[in-house]
Structure 1
Amino acid sequence: MKYIRRNAVLIFGMFLLVILLFITFVGPYLPGIDQELEETQYIWSEERIPIPPPYEPNPEYLLGSDHSGRDLMSLIVIGAKETLLIVLFITLVRYLVAIPLSYLAHKEWLGIHLFLKWINGFLSYVPTIIMVILLAMLPPFLFNENRIYIMILIIALVEVGRAAESIKLDLDDTASKEYILSGIVAGASPFRIFRHYLLPFVYGKLIVYIVSDVGKVMFLVGQLAFIGVFISQEIIQIDFGQFQIRNTSISWPMLLADAHRDIRIAIWIPFWTAFAMTFTIFTFNVLAQGFQNLFKKKNTYI
């Protein structure tokens, strides 16, 4: 506990996290938040002229409205839960795969270490966002009714090699310590060595990696939305022989669907959406730095 009190970065990160969680879970029930997300087709001006949405910030719409006339502040607050769940689930899937892969690579079993070396070398030439776009736009995935789960897997697995390699390097470094050799001499099984000798000394870095990756995933999801690639979407026919891809969720990336146009005519929509996503990214980056400082101090005393 004394290490936490001396860690101003971690305390600040926890403060930001409390704000984020308050908005996510308590925010929808606060006064002024429209839980129904009612659409407004038009409002009357003082000259009795109907004005269609979107509406700029005003006393009725504090942050403005979207193109359907829905209150933007309500959309951001209510969409926070879905957005965070998607991002956290992607990160969880990534590390559920990366942790066993890193251990197998560390032990050099089944050629996993060679696979990680190859996949990381290959992906180093291709930006993550490009790889995700190429896979996401394949027809079997684009028109699949389970697209949301496929997209979660794609985003999680594209970076799983990098995550596994980072953990493997930590395992390699820890395995060279004398107390690990004493466990091997004592006849401990590989699983016992991993659980009781390796994991307690790498879990700190593992927490830092996971928390930091939450921010990275949020940034990637925002980038994808900005160029029109969404985690959940459906194909809608708008005319004979013409179809359009539309996002079907209320997560924050949905509000960036028309960002190129909104920058010119409704700047408040992408601005406040980007602000919410940036706040989340900043929160988890500060938390990751705080945890890194915390475990570094503990390891120093050990």
Structure 2
Amino acid sequence: MLKKNMNLFIGGMFLALLVITAIIGPHLTYVKEGIEPGRLIFLEGGGLLRAPFEPSRDFPLGSDHEGRNLLSLILMGTRDTLLLILLITSIRYAVGVILGTIASFRGRVVSNVLNVWDQIFSSMPIIFVAILFLTLPMFIFTEHRFWIAVISIALVEVGRVGVTVRDQLVHVKKQPYVEAGRMVGMSPFALAIHHYWPNVLPNMLVNFCFDIGRVTLIIGQLGIFSVFITQEFIMMNTGFGQLVNTSYNWSTILGEARKDIYTAVWIPAAAATAIMFVILTFNILGEGLRKHFNRLGT
């Protein structure tokens, strides 16, 4: 099966690589040592080098301005990045599936809400909505910023997910085998288990993979505009407050290195490449799953 479906094979291999990196990466000695700052390197001849360091044998991807190994930062941030992306996408689909299911079973009010929801947010770039919302002072300085950011990004496209689920369920309900099930006395629960969800889940799984790629792109774009999700407002001894990033996720690395695009291009390039790899992984995996389910006739 995998030989006939290279997209599924390649996507699965890329996903396995990401999962292994997320699990093992933070525990590697190389990674732990690499995230320790070291702005100066003293040379044997008496000279010195000042961070950021260009890519070399000691720094395969170069270093940031603190002298931290970018490869170590990328490996350390894999888990945080994937968990953040999966959390946002999972919330979006949990809410969207529930609302779409209600709307498909004569939930006219919910159906109308989903239509309006989808039309409003599909007519404007999601990144602008997220930036406008997350840069409001009331959300910048709150201690609940992380969850507000995650939920707000997830809810922006709940309407699209809900409309898709509703339309698919309505289509399945009109099929002859569903009518036959009703005629023989199958309960609504039995119809859902044997007819509704087996026909809806394949498309939902494919769309879920594609949406992970969409969310990853949004997270990366937010980083470019220096809008971070994993950020806390901490009071300093001087009486002033400071926004501090609390994670090594890749959008944070990308945002902090935006100013280095002309002077130390390897810093934003490392984070951008990692983000692109995740997007590519789930797009390829989603296409592979689509081909697989089409071959099965589901």
TM-score relative to the length of structure 1: 0.91
Counterpart pick for 1:40 among 31, 38, 41: 38
Secondary structure at 2:201's aligned position in 1?
Answer: helix
Q: Residues of 2 paired with 1:220 and 1:32: CA distance?
A: 30
Q: 1:47-126 counterparts in 2 under 5 A? A: 48-109=46-107, 111-126=109-124
Q: For each residue in 1:47-86, what CA deviation from the matched residue of structure 2 results, as whole angstroms up to 9, or x when unmatched? A: 6455432111122212111121111100000110111011
Secondary structure at 2:261's aligned position in 1?
Answer: helix
- 1:133 to partner: Cα distance: 1.4
Counterpart pick for 1:219 among 204, 208, 217: 217
Secondary structure at 1:86's aligned position in 2?
Answer: helix
Q: Residues of 2 paired with 1:184 and 1:35: CA distance?
A: 64
2:177 matched to which residue of 1? 179
Q: 1:20-35 counterparts in 2 under 5 A? A: 20-30=18-28, 32-35=30-33
More displaced stretch, 236-245 vs 206-215:
236-245
- 1:4 to partner: Cα distance: 4.1
Q: Which amino acid counterpart does residue 209 of structure 2 have in structure 1?
A: V
2:157 matched to which residue of 1? 159
Change (3 A) 1:80 1:219: same
Q: Which amino acid counterpart does residue 126 of structure 1 have in structure 2?
A: M
Q: For each residue in 1:174-217, what CA deviation from the matched residue of structure 2 results, as whole angstroms up to 9, or x when unmatched? A: 12110111223334343432232100111111110111111111
Which consecutive unaligned segments of at least 5 residues does structure 2 have? Answer: none
Q: Is 1:201 aligned to 2:199, yes or no?
A: yes
- 1:87 to partner: Cα distance: 0.6
2:132 matched to which residue of 1? 134
1:15 matched to which residue of 2? 13
Secondary structure at 2:21's aligned position in 1?
Answer: helix
The answer on whether the counterparts of 1:91 and 1:156 sit within 8 Å (CA) in structure 2 is yes
Q: Residues of 2 paired with 1:85 and 1:225: CA distance?
A: 16
2:273 matched to which residue of 1? 275
More displaced stretch, 274-283 vs 58-67:
58-67
The answer on whether the counterparts of 2:2 and 2:8 sit within 8 Å (CA) in structure 1 is yes
Q: Which amino acid counterpart does residue 92 of structure 1 have in structure 2?
A: S
Which consecutive unaligned segments of at least 5 residues does structure 1 have? Answer: none
The answer on whether the counterparts of 2:34 and 2:68 sit within 8 Å (CA) in structure 1 is no
TM-score relative to the length of structure 2: 0.92
Q: Residues of 2 paired with 1:237 and 1:263: CA distance?
A: 31
Q: For each residue in 1:232-283, what CA deviation from the matched residue of structure 2 results, as whole angstroms up to 9, or x when unmatched? A: 1123578989765342211111111234311011110111111111111101
Q: Residues of 2 paired with 1:236 and 1:267: CA distance?
A: 30
Change (3 A) 1:17 1:174: same
Q: Which amino acid counterpart does residue 281 of structure 2 have in structure 1?
A: T
Q: Which amino acid counterpart does residue 137 of structure 1 have in structure 2?
A: T
More displaced stretch, 208-217 vs 283-292:
208-217
The answer on whether the counterparts of 2:34 and 2:69 sit within 8 Å (CA) in structure 1 is no
Q: Residues of 1 paired with 2:157 and 2:82: CA distance?
A: 19
Secondary structure at 1:257's aligned position in 2?
Answer: helix
Change (3 A) 1:241 1:25: closer
More displaced stretch, 203-212 vs 165-174:
165-174
Q: For each residue in 1:276-297, what CA deviation from the matched residue of structure 2 results, as whole angstroms up to 9, or x when unmatched? A: 1111110111000000000011
Secondary structure at 2:227's aligned position in 1?
Answer: coil
Q: For each residue in 1:93-126, what CA deviation from the matched residue of structure 2 results, as whole angstroms up to 9, or x when unmatched? A: 1111111111111123161110011111111222
Secondary structure at 1:102's aligned position in 2?
Answer: helix
- 1:152 to partner: Cα distance: 1.0
